[in-house]
A and B are shown apart, each in its own frame.
Chain A
Amino acid sequence: MIKVEQISKSVKGNSPVANVAIETSILKEISFEIDRGDFVAVMGPSGSGKSTLLYSVSGMDQITAGRIVFDGVNLTEMNEESLAELRLNKMGFVFQNAQMLKNLSLFDNLILPGLVAKKEKPQVIRNRAQDLMKRMDIDGLGGRDIREVSGGQLQRASICRAMINNPEVLFLDEPTGALNSAATDQVLNILAALNDEGMTIMTVTHDPRVAVRAKKVIYLRDGEIAGEKELSTGPNREQELDDWLKCV
C-alpha cells in the first residue's frame, strides 16, 4: 500500500562551530513497505529521524531523494494542494500533544476534518463522531472544552478525529508520549482493535509497550534503518522484541 523507496533527506544549515554552510543528513536511503492492514512501529533514539520519516511518508515533509508511492501514486510528484486532499481523505494523524483547536469544543474538533472534506452530509459525520466517541469511551465529553478533559481522553479524541473521514492509514507520532500507563493501555487497546479490523497503522514510538503491539518494528539510528523485525503472534513476542532491541 505504501512503498518507501530509497528516501533521503538532508537540510542545509550553518555549522555551529565555523561560519560555513553545511549539509546535514537526517534520513539516509531508507526503504520499507507498509502493507494494507499492517501495523508498523518506528523506534529509535531521540533525534534519530523518526518523526521526519513519519512526516515524509505522509507527504508533509519534503524529501531530497527517493520516492514514496501511496496506493500506486507517487507522493513526491504531487503538489501541495493534492497532498492536502490526500491527507484529508485517506490519512489520519495523531500527534504527541493532541493538537486541537482551543476555541472549539471537543466534538467540533472531531468533526472538523469531516466538514472540511465536504464529502458527506454533516449529520452523517456527526453520527460517525458519536459512534467513534462511544468506541473510545469518551462519549458525553463532546461538549467540553479541550482543556477540560484529561490527556488520555484528549488523545483518544484525537484518534476519533483521525478516523472521522474513514482513512486508509493512521499515522501517529509518539501517541502515548505524554500519557500515564493506564491511559497508554487504553490508547494501545484502541489501536490494536482498529488494526484487527483492518486499519493500516504507522506509529513512531520509543515505548516498547507500543511497539510490542505492532506487526513490524523498524529501528532507526542516525537516520538509517538499523534493523527491521516482524513480530510473531505468539505469547513470546514481548521477550522477542526485548531481545531484538538489545542487539539492534
Chain B
Amino acid sequence: MKLLLNLVRKDFNRNPAKAAIDFNNDDVEVYILYLSLAEGVDLDLKTNELRGVLPDIKVTPVPSFIAQTLGGIVDNLTRVEAAAMAIALLLSALVTVMFLKLVMAREHRDIAMKKAIGFTNRDIRIQLGIRLLVIQGLGILIGTVLANTLGEGIFSLMLSSMGATRMTLLIQPLKAYLICPAIQLLVVTITVIGGARVVKHYHIKEQIVE
C-alpha cells in the first residue's frame, strides 16, 4: 500500500490534490491507477518487475487491458476495416469499369476512326489508360484527404450503435496516405489494363460506316 501511494504521488505530482485520496481498504472495492512509463522503458519487463514487488496487486499492461475490456469493439473494428477496404477496392474497380464503358460508348466512333487512320490498339489503350488514371488518381487523392479529415465524424456516428460514444481515429500516415491509395491505384490500373483490352475487338467498319 505504501509503495503504491508513492507511485501515485510520483505520477500525479502535477496535481497534488489527487495524492490526498483516502486509501482506506474498508471504503472502496478497487483502485485503478494508471502509470505512464518513461520513454524507452520496456512494458513487459516493467510489468513483471511490478508484479514481483506487488504480489497482491493486479498489474496489467494497458494493451492487454484494452484487449480485455474493449476486445469486442476492437475485433469488430478490425473486421469493419477489412470489409471497408475490400468494398473500397471493389468499388474502385467497378467505377473504373463503368467509366471505361462510358468513355468507350461515347467515343466509339473516334476510337474506330483512330484505328482506321493507323493508331494501334496499344496506342488507344495507352491513351484511355492515361486519361482514366489521371481522373481516378485525382479521385483517390481527394477521397484520401476527405476520409482522413471528415472520416472520423462519420465513423463515430456509424459506430455509436456499437456502444462507443466517441471515436478518435488514429490515422497512421503511411497507411492512410500512401499504402491504401497505392493499393487502390493499383487496382484501378489493373482494371484499366484489363478493361481497355476490348479495344482490340472494336470493329472499325461497323463503327464508321453508317
Contact = CB atoms under 8 A, between A and B. Distances in A.
* Top 7 A-B pairs, shortest CB-CB distance: A88-B118, A87-B118, A84-B120, A99-B113, A55-B205, A60-B204, A61-B205
Given A95-B113, A96-B210, A81 B120 contact: yes
A84 B115 contact: yes
B205 A99 contact: no
B122 A161 contact: no
Majority secondary structure, B binding face: helix
Given A60-B204, A95-B208, A101 B117 contact: no
B140 to A, nearest CB: 25
8 contacts: A51-B209, A61-B203, A61-B204, A84-B115, A89-B118, A116-B119, A117-B118, A162-B117
Contacts, number: 62
A173 B204 CA distance: 13
Contacts of B123: 84, 116
A190 to B, nearest CB: 18
A102 B110 CA distance: 9
A81 B117 contact: no
A50 to B, nearest CB: 10
A80 interface: yes
Contacts of B109: 99
Nearest to A84: B120
A81 B125 CA distance: 13
A141 to B, nearest CB: 20
Interface string B119-161: 1111100000000000000000000000000000000000000
A93 B205 contact: no
A117 B123 CA distance: 11
Contacts of B209: 51, 55, 173
Contacts of A173: 209
Interface in A202-227: none
A130 interface: no
A99 B208 contact: yes
Contacts of B116: 60, 87, 93, 95, 99
Interface of A: 51-52, 55, 60-61, 80-81, 84-89, 91, 93, 95-97, 99-102, 112-113, 116-117, 161-162, 165, 173
B51 interface: no
A80 B202 CA distance: 11
B200 interface: yes
Interface string B187-210: 000000000000010011100111
Contacts of B121: 80-81, 84
Contacts of A87: 116-118
A85 B123 CA distance: 11
Nearest to A87: B118
A53 to B, nearest CB: 11
Contacts of B113: 95, 99-101
B79 to A, nearest CB: 47
A85 B109 CA distance: 20
A63 to B, nearest CB: 12
Nearest to A177: B210
